[in-house]
Amino acid sequence: MLVVACIKQVPDTTQVQIDPVTNTLIRDGIPFIVNPYDSHALEESLRLKDSNGFTAVALSMGPPNAEATLRKALALGVDRSILLSDRVFGGADTLSTSNVLAAAIQRLAEQDEIGIVFCGKQTIDGDTAQVGPGIAVRLGFTQLTLVDRIEKLDLAKKTVTVRRKLEGRYEIVEARLPAMITVVRELNRPRYPTVPMRLASAKAQVEVWNNEVLKLDVNSVGLKGSPTWVSRIFSPQRTEGEILGDGMRDPVGAALLLVDRLLEEDLLAV
C-alpha cells in the first residue's frame, strides 16, 4: 500500500524583504525551504512506512530546481521522490495545482493501492489551504483537514480515525480509506536525515514527470487552467504614527503623555 506526501518548495517568507525604492520583493539570496507544514506530512508518511510497511512516495509540483527538496525527502527515507515539472504547469493557482497532483496520484494508484495522501495544512507562501481539499475532491478520497493526531489505522476495515484541531475544540473522526489528510505541526516532530542516508540520496534518482507522462489537457493546467489571476501587487499602505515623548530618558513622562492622549481621544474608560 502506498502513502503519498505532497510537499512544496517555498521561499522562506520570514526572510523576504521589500525594496523600499521599487516596492518589489528582494529575492536575491532568499533560501528555499520545504514548506514547514509539509515536513510534518512527510514525517507522518515515513512513520506509516516504518510501522505498517507502506511504500512512501514524496510528490512535488514545481520548477526543475525543486528537485533539491525531493532529494531531501529521499535522504529522510521515502522510497520514491517524484517531481512534476513542465513549462505548461507554470503560473498555476490552487485549482490547476490540485489537478496535476491528483493526476500524478491517480497514476501511482494504477501501480499500487493508495492508503493515505498527506499534505501540510497550508503553505507559508500561498497560505490558501486549498490544494489538499482539491486533491481529495478530484480523487474522491475522504477529506480530513487539520489533523493533529492519528488515533487508529484499521487496514482490515480500511478506516482511519483521526483527531482534528478546530477553533476551541477537537473532533475525533472515523473515515474510510483512501483518505487525504492535511496535518498541523502538533502531529509529530520531523526526523533529521542520517549521514549515510544523505550520502545515498545524493546518488538516488528523483523521477521527473512532465505532461507527456501525465497527459493532461493543457487548458486545465498551469496558468491556462487557473480561474484566478493576480491583477495587481502592491505594498501595504501604512499611515505614519506618532512617537510620544522621550521614552529613553523619561519613561514615566512618556507614559503620562500616552495616557493623556488616550483619554483625549476617548479611548480609555477610567
Partner 1 sequence: MSEPVKPKRPRGRARVVAGKCAACGARCQSACPVDCIEMTDAGEPLVTADKCIGCLKCVKVCPAGALEMFFTPEEEKILAQLAGTALPEVDEEELERRRRIDPYRGVWVFVEQNDGEPARVSWELMGSGRQLADSLDVELFAVIIGSNVGHLAQEAFCYGADCAYVLDQPVFARYRTEPYLEAMCYLVDKYKPEVVLMGATGMGRDLAGAVATRVKTGLTADCTGLGIDDKRNLMQTRPAFGGNIMATIMCDKFRPQMATVRPHVMPLPERNPAATGLVLPEGFDISEAAIFSRVLEVITDKSGKDRVDVAGAEFIVSGGRGLMAKENFAILEELAGELGAVVGGSRSAVDAGWLPPDRQVGQTGKTVRPKIYIACGISGAIQHLVGMQDSDVIIAINRDPEAPIFEVATFGIVGDLFDVVPALTMRIRELKQARA
Q: Which of residues 60-79 bind partner 1 (CB under 8 A)?
A: 63
Sole binder of partner 1 in the list 50, 112, 137, 155 (CB under 8 A):
137
- Using alpha carbons only, what angle is made at residue 168 by residues 166 and 174, rounded to the nearest 5 degrees? 40
Gap between the Cα atoms of 132 and 146, Å rounded: 10
Question: Which residues are CB-contacts of 206 (< 8 A; sequence separation ≥ 6)?
Answer: 67, 70, 71, 74, 81, 82, 83
Listed ranges 70-78, 103-111, 119-127, 193-201: which one lies at the site for partner 1 (CB under 8 A): 119-127
What is the footprint of partner 1 within residues 200-239 (CB under 8 A)? 222-224, 226-236, 238
Cell of 15: 526572510
Question: Which of the residues 139 through 158 are near partner 1 (CB under 8 A)?
Answer: 142-146
Sign of CA dihedral 231, 235, 240, 244: positive
Asked if residue 113 binds partner 1 (CB under 8 A), the reply is no
**Closest approach of partner 1 to the CB of residue 198, in Å:** 25
Considering only residues 7-36, where is the footprint of partner 1 by CB under 8 A? Answer: 11, 13-14, 16-18, 22, 24-25, 27-28
Per-residue burial over 21-49, b if 16 or more Cβ lie within 10 Å, else e, is eeeeeeeeeeeebbbebbbbbbbbbbbbb
Site membership for partner 1, residue 172 (CB under 8 A):
yes
Q: Which of residues 248-267 bind partner 1 (CB under 8 A)?
A: 248, 251-252, 254-256, 258-259, 261-263, 265, 267
Instruction: Report if residue 193 touches partner 1, rule: CB under 8 A.
Output: no
Q: Which residue has cell 500616552?
A: 258
Q: How many CB atoms lie within 10 A of CB 62?
A: 22
| Member of 129, 197, 208, 213 binding partner 1 (CB under 8 A) | 129
